Structure 1
């Protein structure tokens, strides 16, 4: 299971997958959940699932939807290829796909391409919205830090540690080091 943000809940996916496992007579060995975007290739739940698959802990992976594994076709196909190579079947609840047969494998490739297209369209819409916001004069991103570089330099000359200065200005030590390097 995967949800994109920490405020989303995977219970719906969990319910459907448990029901499917019961209907097929599968014994659930482990449930893996990530609360992170599918664009991230490295995810704790997915990584642990792949490690367990390589160790032969299970024969079938049930997912709620193909895009719960990955948003990019390349990553999705890499996961499917790994599972296929080690003899683990892939079953998707939403798309009703089972890689046990050649038709299931072909459909998975098509669905992976559609999931990547969907992700690309989302990115395109976000970028268009940011362009519009910039044209309307809205600031995108963090507001720049305005620091008194001379005062920071004086604090350092008075013997304050970088950590003390950073704490006093409520910024990171790296920021203070950058200021000191610039003014040196």
Structure 2
């Protein structure tokens, strides 16, 4: 039986921190489980809030090329700080046939319990998105009810000036530039006057 290849991802937020403890735990874990470390992907001094990070981007590119079978991280928050980012990555790994293991949380998506936890995390992420969407809709309803105008403010277009510029054979782009308007506003004005 061939040994599964594992991509080890470690990250620290500041340059004065060390990934040593994470690496020791993950390398020992890999050895005990009979996993072959394909590569260690290490982001030093990079915030977890950034979805694009040099080593993480390289890991994702290698995953898409199916260079390994498992992604191993010390904790979820070393990999992703937002539920959305984590769920997106886990879905991609699942579609690629790559398992995901979080050492500290003891979660392995190849196990039934890990799969259940993944489903719960996905549901929580959807709930979070739905709550945010409801808040936004509620805020818009309240703003409309209090008489606030929503959207971009309309430019007051001097129709006579637009027509005058057009008679001088100026292009819509030139008119828009001279009057500090969008090309669409000039176009609509000309269509209304024709």
Check whether the contact 2:41–2:59 (CA below 8 A) recurs between aligned residues.
no
What is residue 9 of structure 1 aligned with on the other side?
Answer: none
2:77 paired with 1:60: no
The gaps in structure 1 that reach 5 residues or longer are 1-12, 36-45
Partner of 1:179: 189
Residues 176 and 170 from structure 1, CA distance in 2 versus in 1: closer, same or farther, beyond 3 angstroms? same
List gaps (5 residues or longer) in structure 2. Answer: 1-9, 28-36, 74-78
Cα distance per residue 1:4-59 (max 9 Å; x no partner) = xxxxxxxxx9527x858524137107899438xxxxxxxxxx99865542213454
Q: How does 1:20-169 map to 2 (within 5 A)?
A: 22=23, 23-25=25-27, 27-28=40-41, 33-34=50-51, 51-58=61-68, 59-60=70-71, 63-65=79-81, 67-69=83-85, 76=88, 80-91=90-101, 97-169=107-179
Q: 1:68 to 1:85 in 2, by over 3 A?
A: closer
Quick check: 1:61–1:88 contact (8 Å CA) kept in 2?
no
Number of aligned residue pairs: 155
In structure 2, what is the Cα distance between the partners aligned to 1:93 and 1:130?
43
Match of 1:41? none
Q: Determine helix, strand or coil for the equivalent of 1:28.
A: strand
Indicate the RMSD between aligned Cα atoms, in angstroms.
3.6
> TM-score by structure 1 length?
0.64
Pick closer, same or farther for the CA change 1:56–1:170 going to 2, 3 Å. same
Q: Secondary structure at the match of 1:90?
A: strand
TM-score normalised according to structure 2 size: 0.61
